[in-house]
């Protein structure tokens, strides 16, 4: 079945460091891909998305490119801030029974230190 | 403000005592879903609903019930909670095709002792 695999955390970085969180997926068909962010004590918020191959999603300095050839959707940011500390979830949207079901990876915790 | 509202935020209960977690959305979304979040497992779908009076099992439905009598509400019912249902629960909603992703509630942290 469809699945998402994320790099294990935690990822610990100093402020202004470069961030990469790896995400690969397995899916039949052509899913949409998402990154969600969960700040402490809050629900998940959509960070960015891409709906077809070679699309680049971007928001708040984060970027991810839909790579069909490598079935990947890695999250990157050029210079992280302490306020980026959160759990990041990669997800794909799989078609089933007339609706799109979101399938999530296990999440990657990011801790950014001053 | 467009939102998904869950209540309560925190709940501690004893094994076997029936409880209900409420979920309400004000965006006229057709689709609603419940997830549980456990360390190392990400989010797993419990139940979902594609519209009023239409519900179906997700990946981990055992021990849970849902109902969808109104479009805006989708309560999660635990008839006889057990300690392995201790978890963080999220309600989410979207329009049917979910191309823009889901809107999530703030979560309910449930502890069953």
Instruction: For residue B55, count other CB atoms closer than 10 A to its CB.
Output: 17
Of A4, A32, A42, the CB nearest to B106: A42
Distance separating alpha carbons of residues A83 and A25, to the nearest angstrom: 28
A84 pLDDT higher than 80: yes
A chain contacts of residue B107, beta-carbon cutoff 8 Å: 42-43
Q: Once rounded to an integer, what is the mean pLDDT over residues A39-56?
A: 91
Q: Which residue of B has its CA nearest to A101?
A: B98
Percentage, residues of chain B above pLDDT 90: 80
Does A89 sit within 8 Å of B97, measured CB to CB?
Answer: no
Q: Once rounded to an integer, what is the mean pLDDT over residues A80-103?
A: 84
Q: Does the CB of A104 have a partner CB in chain B at under 8 Å? A: yes
**pLDDT 10s digits, B37-87:** 998 888 899 999 988 999 999 889 999 999 999 999 999 999 999 999 999
Residue B55 and residue B68 in contact, taking contact as beta carbons nearer than 8 Å: yes
Task: Kindly compute the dihedral angle of the four CA atoms of residues B61, B64, B65, B71, in this order, to the nearest 10 degrees.
Answer: -80
Q: Which of A6, A13, A7, A34 is nearest to A79 (CA)?
A: A13
Q: Does the CB of A40 have a partner CB in chain B at under 8 Å? A: no
Q: How confident is the model at residue A42 (pLDDT cuts 50, 70, 90)?
A: confident
Does A105 sit within 8 Å of B106, measured CB to CB?
Answer: no
- Per DSSP bridges, beta strands A11-14 and A108-113 are parallel
Percentage, residues of chain B above pLDDT 70: 96
Q: Does the CB of A7 have a partner CB in chain B at under 8 Å? A: no
Determine whether A103 is exposed, middle or buried from the number of CB atoms within 10 Å of its CB (0-12, 13-18, 19+): buried
């Amino acid at each position: 079945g469809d699945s998402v695999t994320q790099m294990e955390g935690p990822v610990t970085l100093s402020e202004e460091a470069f961030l990469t969180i790896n995400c690969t997926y397995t899916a039949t068909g052509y899913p949409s891909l998402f990154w969600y962010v969960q700040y402490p004590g809050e629900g998940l918020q959509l960070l960015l998305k891409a709906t077809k191959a070679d699309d680049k999603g971007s928001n708040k300095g984060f970027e991810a490119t839909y790579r069909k050839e490598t079935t990947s959707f890695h999250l990157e940011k050029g210079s992280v801030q302490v306020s980026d500390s959160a759990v990041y979830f990669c997800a794909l949207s799989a078609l089933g029974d007339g609706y799109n079901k979101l399938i999530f990876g296990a999440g990657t915790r990011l801790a950014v230190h001053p | 403000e467009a939102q998904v509202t869950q209540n309560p935020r925190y709940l501690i209960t004893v094994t076997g005592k029936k409880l209900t977690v409420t979920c309400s959305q004000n965006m006229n979304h057709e689709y609603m879903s419940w997830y549980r979040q456990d360390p190392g497992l990400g989010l797993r779908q419990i139940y979902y609903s594609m519209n009023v009076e239409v519900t179906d099992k997700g990946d981990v439905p055992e021990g849970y019930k849902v109902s969808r009598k109104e479009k805006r509400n989708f309560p999660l019912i635990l008839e006889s909670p057990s300690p392995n249902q201790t978890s963080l629960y999220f309600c989410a909603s979207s329009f049917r095709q979910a191309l823009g992703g889901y809107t999530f509630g703030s979560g309910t942290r449930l502890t069953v002792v």
